[in-house]
Structure formats: C-alpha cells, structure tokens
Amino acid sequence: MTSHLENQSQQPCQAALLTPRGRGAVATIRVQGAPAVLNQVLQACFHAVNRKPLIDQRLNQIVYGLWGESNSEDLVLCRIDLDTVDIHCHGGMAAVERILEDLQTQGCEIQSWQTLARQKTPALDVELQEVLASATTFRAAEILLRQSQGLLQTTFEALLPDAQTLFEPQRLLSQIQELLCWKQLGLHLTRPWNVVLAGRPNVGKSSLINAILGYERSIVFDEAGTTRDVLTATTALSGWPFQFSDTAGMREEAEHLEAAGIQRAEQILNAADACVILIDTSQPAHPDDQRLLNLWPAALIVAHKTDLPDRWGAPLPPRAIPVSSVTKAGLEAFLQQLVQRLIPETPDQQTAIPVTLRQVELLEQAAEALQAENERAYSALIRQLLLRD
C-alpha cells in the first residue's frame, strides 16, 4: 500500500506570485512541494553561488544565485520551511513571467496566491490577507492588519454558542450589533467613500476637485454643458480613501446629449455616500440652485467662488461653507466637515470590524436568526462566517 508520504512526494510542486502584478523593485514567487520534488524542480533552474543544492540550504538563509543556463537572472532564494521556498527577483513582469514559465516547464502548477495560501492557512486568515492587500492608505492598512492578526477571528469565535452553557440570544445579538455598527467603515477600508459634486453648469465643480487633488484632473472650461459624463478621481483625506465624482452641470433646460449626462449624474448622486451641492456666489441666485437643494436636502453645501465679488443677492443657506478653489480659503473647513460626516467616530486598537460584504451579510442574517431564537440557523451562519463549513 502506498503511504501518505509517498503520495505527497509524487505530487507536483505549486507556485504563485505573491506580489502585485506590474512593475516594482522586487517581486516574490512562492514555491511549495515535497522537499525532494522541490529540490529537483529548483535545481534545474537555480544555481546557488555557494554551490549547495537547495535541500542543503539552511532555513531562513538568503541564498544568492543565478536563474537559468543562458541569459541568467540574478536573484535570491530563501527556504521558509522544509517544503516552501520564496524566490525574490527583479520586479518587472518579464523576469516574473520567465521564472513562472520555467517552473511550469519543470512540472510545477501555477496557482493564485490565495489558492496556495489556503493549503497552510485557515480560510478566514486568507480572506483577511486578501482584503489587506487591497488597502490603498496606511490608515486603512493599519486597521486591516489588526483584524488579520487574530482580532476578528477571536471576536467571531466568541459568537459561537457554547454547548456547555445556556443559549443567550440577547447577549449574542448585542455583540453582533456592535460589530455591525462599524460595517460602513469596514467596507470602505478597501472601497473609497464616494463623494459626488453637483450644481448648475459652470458652478466650479471641476475646479473644486482640482483644488482638493492639488492637480488638474478635471477639465475646466467656461461653457455650460462641458462635463457631460461623470469624471472620477481618488485621493486620501485624513488617511481615509475618498473618490470624488464631477458630474454634468444640472439645469432644467438642456440639449439631448447634455440631458443624458444630467440623468446619469442624478443616478450617481442617489447612490453616493455623500452629496455636495455647489452654488456660485459670483452669480445671481437661480431657481435651479434651490431645486437641487430641495432634491438633496441632506447634502453638504459649498458657497463657491468666494474670491470673486458677491452677486448672489439672497441669504445663503444656513449650512453653506464659503470656499474658493483659487485661494483655497475655506477648503480645509469643507474637507474636515466632509470627513466628520462620513466617519464621525474612529475605532480603537481593540475594536473588531467586519471588512467584507460576505462578513456583513452573514452577521445580518445571524442577527435575524437570533431575533427568531433559531439557534440551529444561527450556529450554521457563524460557522460560515468563520469559513468552517
């Protein structure tokens, strides 16, 4: 009878690119397999300067050498454990693809890093690592790193009913509701808060986005109807990812093409995390301004172009923030108010936060099961949450 170890030694090695695709200083490729097979695959391609075969290299030792017989590539290897090797090479995709092709030629199976990680890492940890890799700001990455270091898993495990104690729906429901309080923040750690600017034509939406970004991302032109589609740009405010959308100028009288842009802008506004209505104080008040304010009463209001003479001729809306995109006056106050509206509270280091839509939806379903006092359905949902089913 063939032993488990013999079966394992006959299985092909697997490899995956760990670093993001694209140009970089260094790329890392991980190769896993039984030691004998791993040694055979890499010895065919890698020639260590110290002339030792891979199987004789010490664990966690950086080994410099050449890859390939001709047009050799300088790189380093490191044995992470007996059946895992990391290859660190030039970050350009040409080098990465050549190494992966050579490994495949030697019988190695090329996988995604997620598939490779699941062989040795709990599925929930892999999910959190994948989310962490998608972080676009240091502040978001810091929060996600804490979740991935056991904080979230420990919190989820505490939601599992204990067979030795009484089922307590209200206590568990309170814990889940506390987690769900942070769901919007958690989902926006990898997905920018979407802020949409709206106003009459030529009110200065593009200029305001340019001022926020610090460079000219949007087209600025002194003619009504210039922006007929939705332009977007992403930045960070107070360490949080934000996306600003510059929509078509809105007015009741518009040509067909411009009207299509306005309709698209209204759809984007309705789906936004925050709406910003701009009014141009250098021009007389117009009925379209009030129409927009009535349509989106919860919007932030920017009284724009305050560097120009005031020709508004009417009291400003009470919540209006005076801003000039030219002098930057009022810009910081507007951005602070925007961040405060979307992120009124920040978590401390011990706060567990659901960070994927899957986690949020399962927690919401678990809360419903608790309200129905359905222990069996609740337990199954928490096991799904922990990716144990």
Q: How far apart are CA 63 and CA 224, in angstroms?
A: 64
Domain boundaries, the chain: 4-117, 123-182+348-385, 193-342
Beta-carbon contacts of 101 under 8 Å, excluding residues fewer than 6 positions away, are none
Q: How far apart are CA 169 and CA 174, in angstroms?
A: 9
Helix or strand run (H / E) with residue 183: helix 183-187
4-117 and 193-342 have identical folds:
no
3-state class (DSSP) for residue 340: helix
3-state class (DSSP) for residue 117: helix
Q: How confident is the model at residue 4, as a pLDDT?
A: 44
Pick the CATH number of 4-117 from 3.30.1360.120, 2.60.120.460, 2.60.200.20, 3.20.20.70: 3.30.1360.120
For residue 238, give both structure tokens: 């107070």
Other C-beta atoms closer than 10 Å to the C-beta of 13 total 21
Q: Average pLDDT of each block of 10 consecutive residues along the chain (389 residues)?
A: 50 93 87 94 94 92 92 91 95 92 96 92 94 94 96 96 83 97 97 94 91 64 43 90 79 45 66 94 93 91 96 92 96 96 96 98 98 95 92
String of b and e for 174-195 (b: at least 16 CB within 10 Å)?
A: ebbeebbebbebbbbbbebbbb
Q: How confident is the model at residue 218, as a pLDDT?
A: 42
Structural domain 193-342, CATH architecture: 3-Layer(aba) Sandwich (3.40)
Query: 234: which strand partners?
Result: 243
- Decide the pairing of beta strands 240-246 and 231-237: antiparallel
pTM: 0.81
For residues 144, 209, 205, 193, the Cα torsion angle rounded to the nearest 10 degrees is 0
